Structure 1
């Protein structure tokens, strides 16, 4: 089982399982046909596998289902679980420090791990142009990066 992010980068180590089949074979020297029954040494099924938890991401398969009735002639089974970044949001609030009144709010939306392109400079300028004084700007200069908080 491969675990990847949407862009294809590995998200977690691959999960591998194997089954062992053996047989005592006899080959007809005239027809060159080999016969003999295969025997499963450690079962004929793979158990369901729970996808790993990755902070800020949701897998498209929470659990890869069990596979039964595997034989020595079965093809290899390969599955890929894709992790998508969880949606996230933030709110920027502009407050009149004298009155405590909320002047404006900006609701921001994105995805876990993403940095929002919004910057406060333009909005702050609209208030300083109207004779408000800036007391503090706690917004990160490089933008807010969404996390689980």
Structure 2
């Protein structure tokens, strides 16, 4: 609202009734006198206008006014305040709201520091490149100009652990990293294929094939791939070649076990001789054969003789007797 003020001056003059002349001095006249002795225009503080700043904090006081003083006309100009404008060259930046500089309630020419928008997974920088921590405020050098706040994507971390479910041990852990919102280039395919060459089989692959790094700077993205030892039943009906590699791509690795682990024969020999040791009748022989199914651990080569997939020793045709 426009501000107005005035100072009033009065005096006594004498009028010549014949000529109409106004006589301002001499007998019967008085000098100009300010009403109530007020000869000053007080300083006027510029009002705070939301969203704008004034070019003057106040208009100066004008003192020693007299009746010949000219009218005083002052203009206070207001200009729209600027804003913090978030910006980022990162293609995954989700954006952030602009923040208009808050007015200083005690000075129409000033603004107070504006709160810098917090964007999870991104770090804010002022125009000079200084890091602006979450929750910080920024004081612009010119309250009427916008300030660009530049955001850069943070580095996110994680891991992929390969777990041997048979032993409960972790075989290895690979580190992964990437910026917020970026796609991970990591793949479990090669590692899984390599473990399969060494006798493992996949249980579950907990790593997402199209992993996008999140915006959580305090918690890593950790994943697990579960594998177990492949087990192969071996028996006389389904034998393997003893001493050859269990895993063809691992020539120096575990070998198939000897056949006596699953195929045994007990032999009987009766020899007929005289008192001098000479053979007097044809030698008699007999045998009883026993077989079973064992399970071979393709990772370690261990022969497992009990438990799932195995069978106990069984005599061929049920024959357990030498007649």
Aligned-pair Cα RMSD in Å: 2.5
Cα-to-partner distance string for 1:48-86 (whole Å, 9 max, x where unaligned):
112011111121143321547x7xxxxx41210011112
* Structure 1 unaligned spans of 5+: 20-41, 71-75
Q: Is the aligned partner of 1:128 residue 2:193?
A: no
Task: Normalising by structure 2, report the TM-score.
Answer: 0.34
User: Where does structure 1 differ by over 6 angstroms across 4 or more consecutive aligned residues?
Assistant: none
Q: Tell me how far apart the structure 1 counterparts of residues 94 and 184 of structure 2 sit (CA, whole Å).
A: 24
Residue 54 of structure 1 aligns with which residue?
119
Deviation at 1:91, TM superposition (A): 0.6
Task: Report the 3-state secondary structure (helix = DSSP H, G, I; strand = E; otherwise coil) of the residue aligned with 2:173.
Answer: strand
Give the TM-score taking structure 1 as reference length.
0.70
Structure 2 gap segments, 5+ residues each: 1-83, 127-131, 220-323
Distance 1:145 1:10 in 2: 14
Whether 1:6 aligns to 2:89 is: yes
Q: Looking at both structures, which has the greater relative contact order when contacts are Cα pairs under 8 Å and sequence separation is at least 6?
A: 1
- Based on CA coordinates, which of the two structures has the bigger radius of gyration? 2
Contact 1:2 1:79 in 2 (8 A): yes
How has the CA–CA distance of structure 1 residues 104 and 50 changed in structure 2, closer, same or farther, with 3 Å as cutoff?
same
1:106 Cα offset (Å): 0.5
Q: For 1:46, what is the secondary structure of its paired residue?
A: coil
Output the CA distance in 2 between the equivalents of 1:50 and 1:85: 20
Segment of structure 1 superposing worse, 82-91 or 56-65: 56-65
SS of alignment partner, residue 161 of structure 2: strand
Q: Structure 1 residues 124, 10: CA separation in 2 closer, same or farther (over 3 Å shift)?
A: closer
How many pairs align?
121
